[in-house]
Every structure is written in structure tokens, then in C-alpha cells.
């Protein structure tokens, strides 16, 4: 997939664990882990909004486009 999730980098910048974020946004750790590893096929805007709210960031801070990713 050409869309790359950079959640792990934002968590590191904010000094927050995946578990802490999962609790704050009321998402299961398993689902958040799927998103973090780039295995998610979709994300709800409400989920993206909650993550951005807690990490104090913009959606573009969490998502990037890499056309070369399709070749993997």
C-alpha cells in the first residue's frame, strides 16, 4: 500500500506508549497495533480525530504517501 502510517514515530516524539494511547482513545491495543504496523486497510475519521487529539498532531503527521511501497 502506498499510504504509510507513521504512528510509531509520533508516539516516540510524544513519549507515549501504544498502550497509553489505546486507553486514551478507547481503542483496543490489538486494533491500534494493526494500524501502527501498517496492516490496516482503513481508518475511521473518528478514530483518526481521536488519535490526533491525544497526540496533538495533524492527520498528515501520521500518514505519508510513498509510491514505491506498492512495489514491495
- Position 63 scores a pLDDT of 94
Residues 6+ apart with CB under 8 A from 8: 36
Please give the average per-residue pLDDT across 12-37, as a whole number: 96
Q: Is the pLDDT of residue 72 over 70?
A: no
Residue 51: count of CB within 10 angstroms of its CB: 24
CATH, residue 25 = 1.10.260.40
The whole-angstrom separation of Cα 33 and Cα 19 is 9
How many domains does the chain contain in total? 1
Q: Is the pLDDT of residue 43 over 80?
A: yes
Partners of 64 in the β-ladder: 4
Only one residue has cell 507515549, namely 16
- Position 70 scores a pLDDT of 53
List, in sequence order, every beta strand (DSSP E) within the chain. Answer: 3-5, 63-65
Structural domain containing residue 35:
3-71
- Position 66 scores a pLDDT of 87
- Position 67 scores a pLDDT of 85
Amino acid at each position: 500500500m502506498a499510504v504509510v502510517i507513521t504512528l510509531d514515530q509520533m508516539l516516540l516524539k510524544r513519549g507515549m506508549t501504544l498502550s497509553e494511547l489505546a486507553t486514551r482513545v478507547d481503542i483496543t491495543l490489538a486494533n491500534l497495533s494493526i494500524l501502527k504496523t501498517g496492516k490496516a486497510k482503513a481508518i475511521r475519521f473518528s478514530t483518526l480525530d481521536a488519535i490526533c487529539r491525544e497526540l496533538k498532531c495533524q492527520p498528515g503527521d501520521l500518514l505519508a504517501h510513498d509510491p514505491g511501497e506498492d512495489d514491495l
